[in-house]
Amino acid sequence: MVAVMGASGYVGGRLLRPLLEAGYRVRAVARRPDFLAARAPADVEIAQGDALDRASLVESLRGCDMAFYLVHSMGSSGSFEDQDRQAAQNFASAAEEAGIRRIVYLGGLGDDSEDLSTHLRSRQETGTILRQSAVLTVELRASVVIGSGSLSFEMVRALTERLPIMITPRWVRVPAQPIGINDLLAYLVAALTVEVDHGRVFEIGGADVVSYGEIMGEYARQRGLRRWMLPFPLLTPKLSSLWLGFITPLYARIGRKLIESIVHPTVVRDHSATQFFSIRPVGLTESIRSALVNEETEIAETRWSDALSAAGSSRDWAGVRFGNRLVDSRTAYVNTTTAKAFRPVRRIGGRNGWYFANWLWRLRGAIDLWVGGVGLRRGRRDDERLRVGDTLDWWRVEAIESDRRLLLFAEMKVPGRAWLEFEVVASGDGALIRQTAVFDPIGLAGLLYWYGVYPLHSLVFRGMLREIARRAISVAALVLLCMTPLTARGEESAGNAEYVRSTTIAAQLDGVGDQSLKWID
């Protein structure tokens, strides 16, 4: 049994599945187990444990043989050094009491002799505290982690995507030895069984030693972006962190601690890891390529609504970020079955139209044709049925699940990539329709496009979902109408039957709305 302390963090969360695949039983430990429960693999045991509460740690570690310690307080508003020190002491003591035989800790690269930043100094002090305990401790020290969602990579991504011309401070030219997340995970799993007879520190890194500027340059190349960097040595770490807080998703205090760390070289000086581990890490180009490809897989396997709920709000003016993507998601509840709720979704586009502001759709299609795109001229193959690969005006069907989900990929001319997804799920006595627009902007032009057209998109998407919901109700009403006999109360004449039929129509469609009545007509 292996405990993962810090399982709700980036590395800890990614580590759970490789441990299961390696045959370990896994217990994920987090302060908020409810947050972790929805994201951890089903086979993972979840326990509550707070690094600042020793008693909770002893209980969460009991019965485990080995443990990962992947905790640090970089986002703390107080003295994160004091918190890191206390947390490490608590964990070391609790591990001894719980009978843990080995601790694996992930620290940061940096020469002990240099005037290290408070962040790197605290990371290394944590390793020292753990190694001084009675539990054998293996510490891995790494530089920048290249992987979608890692703090350093997201900083590089945001700067490169948003700034065609960058005024670069001195730290952009500092050497680092970035490591891909997959290689890092392989090292962590292997550290559980690496043959050492006492606590050891291993320095690990990728195949290339590069600067942050070169990392941004390679990211730009793979994303098809042209970027210019103008050196400006007078930009201090404090000013840089404020600038990062404005340009990137990082909080200013986290950005400042991060920059204070990356002004120091973080390269491997002790190469003994190559003698103890059989892992041969890839270089920068492959790490970035893998991060982008893995992101596609993760997003394909994850519902946009998961990202939305994680962001805490569905009413942000410009949607929420999911990796590099911007998301706008809306829901409507209808008192009918999922099959009837999905029918207007299945019929959307082509001659059936887009249900709201069709003149705007036609105008956008004309603009797309004018700039060399496909416009709306392709229509759809069949007015009732869709299959994967079908064209649907300027969209293409990327996925469809009967009465449940439709995912469309945009083939129009836009500075990025766009998807439109509809999901229908049972909810109470009815169905919930979720409509989600997703945009992956390419550079500053993509961001300007999203924010520039968002008010119009918001109007169109809101109206489209409202009409889909109305048509779903109309379908349900029409089905009930078809099931109603043409005669009632024993009256046999054709005239009376038609009278009963007309009153039935009025009763079944009461409150549906004029647009829906026209559609049924």
pLDDT at 475: 59
pLDDT at 240: 62
Contact (Cβ atoms closer than 8 angstroms) between residue 47 and residue 32:
no
pLDDT of residue 493 exceeding 50:
no
| Gyration radius (Cα) of the chain, Å | 28
pLDDT of residue 113 exceeding 80:
no
Q: Best-predicted range by mean pLDDT among 38-47, 60-69, 77-86, 239-248? A: 60-69
pLDDT at 202: 96
pLDDT of residue 282 exceeding 70:
yes
pLDDT of residue 252 exceeding 50:
no
153/146 Cα distance (integer angstroms): 6
Global pTM value: 0.62
Render the burial of 369-381: b for 16+ CB within 10 Å, e for the rest: beeebbbbebebe
Higher-scoring residue by pLDDT: 116, 190 = 190
Instruction: Lowest mean pLDDT of 15-24, 305-314, 457-466, name the range.
Output: 305-314
In 10-65, where do the E strands start and end? Answer: 26-30, 45-48
pLDDT of residue 420 exceeding 90:
yes
Q: pLDDT, tens digit, for every residue of 53-80?
A: 889 999 999 999 999 999 876 544 456 7
| Cα 195-13-215 angle, rounded to 5 deg | 85
pLDDT at 389: 82
Render the burial of 291-313: b for 16+ CB within 10 Å, e for the rest: bbebbeeebeeeebbebbeeeee
Q: How confident is the model at residue 310 (pLDDT cuts 50, 70, 90)?
A: very low
In order, the DSSP letters of 344-411 are HHHT-SGGG--SS-HHHHHHHHHHHHHTTS-TTTT-BS-SS---TT-EETTEEEEEEETTTEEEEEE-
CATH 3.20.10.10: does it fit domain 303-482? no
Q: Residues 442, 445, 448, 451: is their CA dihedral positive or negative?
A: negative
pLDDT at 146: 92
% pLDDT > 70, the chain: 76
Q: Residues 11, 14, 20, 23: is their CA dihedral positive or negative?
A: negative
200/486 Cα distance (integer angstroms): 86
